[in-house]
Amino acid sequence: MNVEASIRNAMEQVAELSDCELVENIEQETVLLDCGLDSLGYAMLVAQLEEELGFDPFTEQQVTSYPSTFGEFVAIYQACLDK
């Protein structure tokens, strides 16, 4: 399973639903706050990913600090999947 592709796809869907516009080139070092989603959008993203992937790493793992970049966000999901 390609977690990054799933996250990117979910981000696009959430952006469309919440009438937000994602930036064009989201890279690993892109700051999440600069991606185009607002706080409600990220809540929707985590909920959608939980539905699609079957887990929420923020409740299943003891995440001590929330991700600030897209790469960190992907890494948290990948770590939970690899567990």
Write down the pLDDT at residue 42. 94
- Domain of residue 61, residue span: 3-82
Give the count of domains, the chain: 1
CATH number for position 61? 1.10.1200
**Alpha-carbon radius of gyration of the chain:** 12
Q: What are phi and psi of 31, to 5 degrees?
A: -70, 130
DSSP-based three-state secondary structure for 18:
coil
**What does the pLDDT read at residue 65?**
80
Question: Tens place of pLDDT for every residue, the chain, 83 residues?
Answer: 799 999 999 999 999 999 899 999 999 999 999 999 999 999 999 999 999 999 999 888 777 788 999 999 999 999 988 87
Alpha carbon distances (Å) from 9 to 22, 58, 60:
11, 20, 22
Q: Which residues pair with 69 in a beta bridge?
A: 31
Return all residues near 23 (Cβ < 8 A) that are at least 6 apart. Answer: 30, 34, 35, 36
